[in-house]
Structure formats: structure tokens, C-alpha cells
């Protein structure tokens, strides 16, 4: 199960986390790639993420986000850090009581969190939006 921290606040029970780095879909790559994470987690009473998504332009919109991804043996694969991130998209989905099947996960939230340059008017250097740290290799039997 992935890990998620936003400005030091830890979120439990993250269903899934996808980290994406996109250099554009045109003939030439973008000078600054789009770096984002798509996070899916169960809905609950905490309004922190929704309030962050609604934050006006200014200091409250920018937060540091840390995402941990794990392998099938629950060993840490990578720690991804967006140093200056904002909510690009927020969705909260509620299933009605009659919709259930064994595979329904219930009410959930999905966020698209994007990173931006730490300081405006600086060149992209490969580390000043998204940073990645290696985890541990999977321990195989034998």
C-alpha cells in the first residue's frame, strides 16, 4: 500500500498512487516536463485535501508532497518528493447503497497533484520539481 504525506501530514489507507513524468506529446519534448501523481484513497470526514484543492492562488496552495511506492514484498521501492505541489484535480466519488458488488471499493477520493518549479524564473535542472530516492531491493528467497 503506497504512502502519502502532504506538508508532513500522513494519510493512511492509500488505495493506489501513480507517479507520472510527461515530456509532452508534441513532436518536440517540453522544456519543463509535467510531473504529477495520481492518488486514490478512501473518502472520510477529513476535509484537508478538499480544502487544499479549493485554496486560492497564494502560499496556501503550495505544499510539499511525499509519495512512497512499495513492491510486492512490501519493501520500499522509491520515495518521490514534489517540493512545490498543488492540486490540479480533485474528485470525490460516492457509490449508492444498491451499487455494491464484491469488487466495489466504496466512496473514494482521487487527486491529481502536480509539481512546479520551486522558484519562478529558474531553469529546470532535473531535481527542482520532483526528487526520487531509491528504496530497497526486493528480498528473494534462497
Give the pLDDT mean for 88-101: 78
Query: Any idea what DSSP says for residue 97?
Result: G
Q: 17 is written with which cell numbers? A: 498512487
Indicate if the pLDDT at residue 139 is higher than 60: yes
Are 39 and 4 within 8 A, CB to CB?
Answer: yes
All domains in the chain, ordered by first residue: 3-134 (2.30.110)
| Average pLDDT, integer, range 5-31 | 88
Instruction: Give residue 29's pLDDT.
Output: 77
Query: 92: which residues sit within 8 A by CB, 6+ positions away?
Result: 43, 50, 107, 108, 109, 110
pLDDT for position 95: 72
How much is the average pLDDT of 25-43? 86
Please tell me the predicted confidence (pLDDT) of residue 100: 58
Per-residue model confidence as pLDDT tens digits over 102-118: 555 578 999 999 999 98
What 3-state class would DSSP assign to 59? Answer: helix
Tell me what pLDDT residue 96 has: 67
3-state SS class at 126: coil
**Sign of the alpha-carbon torsion through 5, 7, 8, 12:** negative
Give the helix/strand (H/E) hosting 49.
Answer: helix 48-53
Per-residue pLDDT, 25: 74
Q: How far apart are CA 78 and CA 32, in angstroms?
A: 22
Answer for the pair 123, 58: CB distance below 8 angstroms, yes or no.
Answer: no
Amino acid at each position: 500500500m503506497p504512502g502519502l504525506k502532504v506538508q508532513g501530514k500522513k494519510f493512511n489507507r492509500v488505495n493506489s498512487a501513480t507517479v507520472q513524468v510527461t515530456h509532452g506529446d508534441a513532436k518536440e519534448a517540453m522544456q519543463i516536463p509535467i510531473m504529477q501523481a495520481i492518488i486514490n484513497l478512501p473518502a472520510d470526514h477529513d476535509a484537508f485535501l478538499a480544502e487544499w484543492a479549493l485554496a486560492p492562488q497564494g502560499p496556501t496552495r503550495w505544499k510539499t508532497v511525499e509519495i512512497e511506492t512499495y513492491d510486492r514484498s512490501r519493501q520500499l521501492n522509491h520515495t518521490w518528493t514534489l517540493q512545490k505541489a498543488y492540486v490540479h484535480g480533485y474528485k470525490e466519488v460516492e457509490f449508492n447503497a444498491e451499487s455494491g458488488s464484491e469488487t466495489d471499493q466504496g466512496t473514494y477520493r482521487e487527486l491529481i497533484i502536480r509539481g512546479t518549479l520551486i522558484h519562478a524564473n529558474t531553469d529546470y535542472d532535473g531535481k527542482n520539481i520532483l526528487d526520487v530516492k531509491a528504496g530497497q531491493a526486493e528480498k528473494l528467497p534462497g
